[in-house]
Amino acid sequence: MAFLRAPILRPSPVTASAFASTSRLTLHSPSPSTTSPSTTSPSATFSTTPLASVGQRLPAAFVDSHKAENYRNYVRRLKSTKYVLLSNLPTTATPTDVRSLAFGQKTFNDISCIEYIYTRSLRPSSKAIVFFSSPIHAQEYESYVHGRILGGKQLSASLRTPDDRVRLLQKAYASWPQEYQLPLDLIEYEGGKLVLLNNIPQETTEARLEERLAVRYDLRPQDRWRGKRASYAGWEIDKKGYGGSHDAVLGGVLKLPKWHPDATTTGFLVRCQTAVEAMRLVRRWHNTFFAPATFDIQVTGGRFKLSASVLY
């Protein structure tokens, strides 16, 4: 009986070449004693060293994670820039003047709101925020308006996000007394129909001034005003309790708080029923003297010369 012998395995050319390629790959692999952090822990972070620096070829679809994140943040910011901040505006610039800067452009009809930034005496601070519904129109308006001349002044325009707008308003109004919250919210609701009368003697009351104005002008009747709290006046003093609505009984005239402790004059907000009536009141009272029969010009030296303007 003949016993069969086990076959002798001889390496073929294909097996030899495969073994050679495997041996070449093992030369570049790390030693078994060195463990990779990506294999030992599932939460290990990836190395930020470029793959090309360790001798490996980058794939065609490779994208750097840091550059990709920066690009996503840039695109996200562009999509949210629906506000344009105008600086160096003339103090007499009206919303019609701001809209006319984009006359003939596609952005002319996309301006939804114009928010002026005021000083402590409720005078324009040469800054305004223009609201758009589309970020593309905001970018076009910013590039078209920046550097233009309005009222002899060169304008400066820059894009802003909703967070930038909140920070800007907080910087402007957060340190003000809380008594300014109601006047600022009135400007938002009744802009164009409010008249600011400045440089009136401090002893003047709301009832006395309203009685004098109601004879010739159509003022709002006394009612309960429940507008929302939206301004940031006094935000640094008390950050709690914001939101909700006002609950105030207002008439046709509202006396403003003293903008300085030693001030002998103050300002009043006159609530007109229409914008036409507000303009008529400004034309009649601006640059006139308050009660010249009571306060003699020779004695006061023209101290009570009034300043009237429409608030938008």
Question: Helix, strand, or coil here: 150?
Answer: strand
The answer as to whether 40 is a domain residue is no
How do strand 111-118 and strand 124-132 relate by DSSP bridges?
A: antiparallel
- Are 83 and 200 in the same domain? no
Burial of 4 (0-12, 13-18, 19+ CB in 10 A): exposed
- Are 143 and 226 in the same domain? no
Instruction: Supply angle C-alpha 120, 285, 87, rounded to 5.
Output: 40
Q: How far apart are CA 255 and CA 109, in angstroms?
A: 36
Nearest CA-CA partner of 91 in 121, 51, 47:
121
- Are 152 and 92 in the same domain? yes
- Are 208 and 283 in the same domain? yes
Task: Say which CATH number the domain at 227 has.
Answer: 3.30.70.330
Q: How far apart are CA 181 and CA 230, in angstroms?
A: 8
187 with 124: CB under 8 angstroms? no
At residue 229, the pLDDT reads 83
196 with 282: CB under 8 angstroms? no
The answer as to whether 114 is a domain residue is yes
Q: How far apart are CA 140 and CA 37, in angstroms?
A: 50
At residue 36, the pLDDT reads 45
State which H helix or E strand residue 307 sits in. strand 307-311
Q: At what angle do helices 135-145 and 65-80 cross, to 10 degrees?
A: 80
- Are 187 and 131 in the same domain? no
Domain-ending residue, one of 119, 152, 173: 173
The answer as to whether 191 is a domain residue is yes
At residue 73, the pLDDT reads 62
Q: Which residues contact 254 (CB under 8 A, 6 or more apart)?
A: 182, 183, 186, 206, 268, 269, 271
pLDDT (tens, 9 = 90+) of the chain, 312 residues, equals 455 555 555 555 444 444 444 444 444 444 444 444 444 444 444 444 454 455 556 565 656 666 766 666 656 666 668 899 999 999 999 999 999 888 777 777 788 899 999 999 899 999 999 999 888 889 889 999 999 999 889 999 999 998 899 999 999 999 898 889 999 999 999 999 999 999 998 888 999 999 999 999 999 999 899 888 888 888 877 665 566 778 889 999 999 998 888 888 899 999 999 999 999 999 999 998 887 656 665 655 556 889 999 999
Specify which residues 138 forms β-bridges with. none
Amino acid letter, residue 28: H
CB atoms within 10 A of CB 309: 18
Domain-ending residue, one of 151, 173, 195: 173
The answer as to whether 68 is a domain residue is no
- Are 161 and 194 in the same domain? no
The answer as to whether 53 is a domain residue is no
- Are 92 and 151 in the same domain? yes
Q: What are phi and psi of 311, to 5 degrees?
A: -100, 135
What the block records as the tokens of 22 is 């495997």
The answer as to whether 61 is a domain residue is no
Number of domains the chain contains = 2
- Are 183 and 168 in the same domain? no
Q: How far apart are CA 235 and CA 229, in angstroms?
A: 12
Q: How far apart are CA 200 and CA 295, in angstroms?
A: 11
- Are 191 and 158 in the same domain? no
Domain-ending residue, one of 147, 173, 199: 173
Burial of 173 (0-12, 13-18, 19+ CB in 10 A): buried
Task: Please give the full DSSP string across 2-52, using - where no structure is assigned.
Answer: PPPPPPPP---HHHHHHHHHHHHHHHHSPPTTS--HHHH-TTPPPP-S-GG
Q: How far apart are the first and last CA of the chain?
A: 116
DSSP secondary-structure letter at 245?
A: B
Specify which residues 246 forms β-bridges with. none
- Are 167 and 198 in the same domain? no
At residue 22, the pLDDT reads 45
What the block records as the tokens of 304 is 């009570």
The boundaries of the domain holding residue 191 are 178-311
- Are 168 and 216 in the same domain? no
- Are 208 and 285 in the same domain? yes
The answer as to whether 142 is a domain residue is yes
Specify which residues 223 forms β-bridges with. 250
| pTM reported for the whole predicted model | 0.70
The answer as to whether 154 is a domain residue is yes
